Structure 1
Amino acid sequence: MRKKTLAIVGCGGLASIVVQALDKGLLPDFQIIGTYSRTFDKAQVFSNHINNTDRGYTCTPCHSLDELLKLKPDYVVEASSPDSLKELALPTLRNGTSIVTISIGGLADTAFYEEVKKTALEHGTRVHIASGAVGGFDVLRTVSLMEESEVTFESTKSPRAMRYSPVYDPIIETQEHTSFEGSAVEAIALFPRQVNVSVAAALASTGPENVKVSIKTIPEFVGDNHRIEIKSQEIHAVLNIYSQTARIAGWSIVNTLRNITSPIAF
């Protein structure tokens, strides 16, 4: 069977996990043939690592998205930012290339979301949303299809995560404080990098405009704690996930890629 070809956009710590998984033999059905990052040196570091091992193919570092897409990869792994997803999604899908993304916040824009769906359908491509730092999308989608439901998303973070945000208040450095309450749409507008996971949960369930999001900070807190709750007439489910670092988001990309080619998908 021909191996699927991958290109990576955003050559940071999360994307490096995909390369680690490739090195460990956890992605036997894939080849990484191209890399692109805002800083070319980062793309080159990734490609050099891949090329320094005899893999039977070459990985090309690229100076632009256009250059990357000319390689005609089967999939682009996007591990950069919601803005990056909004920049690359439509040209990538038109290129005949599917996307695996963790920057789900870009899809909170309803008009853009619909354009992405339309473009993917027209070109026979797909957008695969990795679970990032959360999970339970199967339960959320199942219950929301089954009957009317209500979803809340509560996130607990350290003050550091809010220091350069529009809602920063010095009180968070010394006291437990609720920094934000609103919809997932409002949350992603204020915190484009911090609440991607809430948009993912919203897209899997009742929609970004309907999911209620709250962000609490606790002094000296390390990592992230996410609590997703869905309630309907018949179902009440709670998902609570703590992660000390963001590494789980990178490994969720690996799991998504494995599901794409696996005869049994989880």
Structure 2
Amino acid sequence: MRVGLIGQGAIAHYVAQGLPAIGGRLELVLIRQGRGDAARIATDADVALSKGIEGYSPDIMVDCAGHQGLAQHGTDILRAGIPLVTVSLGALADRQLEAALTQAARDGGSRLVLCSGALGGLDALRAARMGRLDSVTYTGRKPPAGWVGSRAEEVLDLSAPLSAPVTHFEGSARQAALGYPKNANVAAAVALAGAGFDQTRVRLIADPATQGNIHEIEAAGDFGTMRFSITGQTLPDNPRTSALAAMSVLSALADYRSPLSF
């Protein structure tokens, strides 16, 4: 299995290291750097994405570069007929980008594979949406330092000690994903698995008592009720990156290669 990567961060590094264990090898890397449309291509991307050039076109691509990386490269990859795995689910809150990626996948006969990221329980939500979903709520709870650099700083002084948990955002998953692009991929995953961006409620909390990132799903419908909670650990070389998110990418690649998958 020939795998291409977009990005050079902690998740890309984790995936590259784990590929041999699932029968894959790194074929090319598109490394995003700078701002705007600036990008450095580490391998000849035009050749790599051309259909019918045996030995150069990867079997599957993986987006590890965040929302901007998916927006910049996603449509070209999908239109070239190459499946694309992404953890940048929050980018799909942009209706125009979601439509462009969907059309590119149809045009190329390919598929955009959405990783579960830092959260579990999404299989139950996907099943439940086949019936009636009355309510879905995602709550994200992090230490105050975990919200540094986000819109939480507009309502909280994160440099001052907090004596109690503070909710700094309540709204829809679409609002959360667009307002917190580096923090709300989990909220987007919940929305895409279940009731959608506009019907999924999100609550984001800065909690001085928590030692990790806590993700909770609550849902109700004609399937019954569910409540799922996970406290995630981060990757050793990047305290801002979920270990489970990186693992979910390798899991998606293993499923792609395997004749059996959930």
Q: Distance in 1 between matches of 2:15 and 2:72?
A: 22
Residue 140 of structure 1 pairs with residue 137 of structure 2: no
Over 3 Å counting, the alpha-carbon distance change for 1:218 and 1:92 in structure 2 is: same
The equivalent of 1:170 in structure 2 is: 157
> 2:114 aligned with 1:129, yes or no?
yes
Structure 1 runs not aligned, ≥5 long: 41-60
Report Cα offsets for 1:80-135 as digits up to 9, x if no partner: 11121111111111111110111111111223212322221221100111111002
Quickly say closer, same or farther: Cα 1:263–1:112, change in 2 above 3 A: same
Instruction: Give me the whole-angstrom Cα distance separating, in 2, the residues matched to 1:256 and 1:126.
Output: 13
Please give the alpha-carbon distance, in whole angstroms, between the structure 2 residues aligned to 1:131 and 1:163. 24
Q: Which one-letter code corresponds to 1:136 in the other structure?
A: G
2:31 equivalent to 1:37: yes
Q: What does residue 253 of structure 1 align with?
A: 249
Q: 1:233 Cα shift?
A: 3.1
The answer for the alignment partner of 2:201 in structure 1 is: 212
| 2:261 paired residue number | 265
| SS of equivalent to 2:22 | coil
Change (3 A) 1:189 1:39: closer
How far apart in 1 are the matches of 2:67 and 2:102?
A: 17
Maintained 8 Å contact 2:131/2:223: no
AA in 2 matched with 1:167: A
- What is the aligned partner in structure 2 of residue 203 from structure 1? 192
TM-score normalised per structure 1: 0.84
CA distance in 2, matches of 1:105, 1:93: 18
- What amino acid maps onto 1:9 in structure 2? I
Does the CA contact (< 8 Å) of 2:78 and 2:84 recur in 1? yes
Provide the identity percentage: 29
Structure 2: which 5+ runs fail to align? Answer: 35-40, 51-55, 235-241
| CA-atom RMSD in angstroms | 2.0
Q: Which amino acid aligns with 2:162?
A: T
Q: Contact between 1:35 and 1:68, CA under 8 Å: does it hold in 2?
A: no
Q: Secondary structure at the match of 1:182?
A: strand
Task: Work out whether residues 143 and 149 of structure 1, in 8 Å CA contact, stay in contact via their aligned partners in 2.
Answer: no
Residues 135, 221 of structure 2: 8 Å contact kept = yes
What is the aligned residue count? 240
Report the 3-state secondary structure (helix = DSSP H, G, I; strand = E; otherwise coil) of the residue aligned with 1:135: coil
For 1:81 and 1:192, how far apart are their aligned partners in 2? 8
Q: Distance in 2 between matches of 1:233 and 1:22?
A: 40
* Higher deviation after alignment, 140-149 or 245-254: 140-149
Shift of 1:73: 1.6
Deviations 1:140-178 (A, max 9, x none): 111111123311000100111222222311167323211
Alpha carbons 2:171, 2:201 under 8 Å: kept? yes
Partners of 2:148 and 2:259 lie apart in 1 by 45
Closer, same or farther in 2 for the Cα pair 1:195/1:64, shift >3 Å?
Answer: farther
Retained in 2: the 8 A contact 1:229–1:239?
yes
Tell me the equivalent position of 2:180: 191
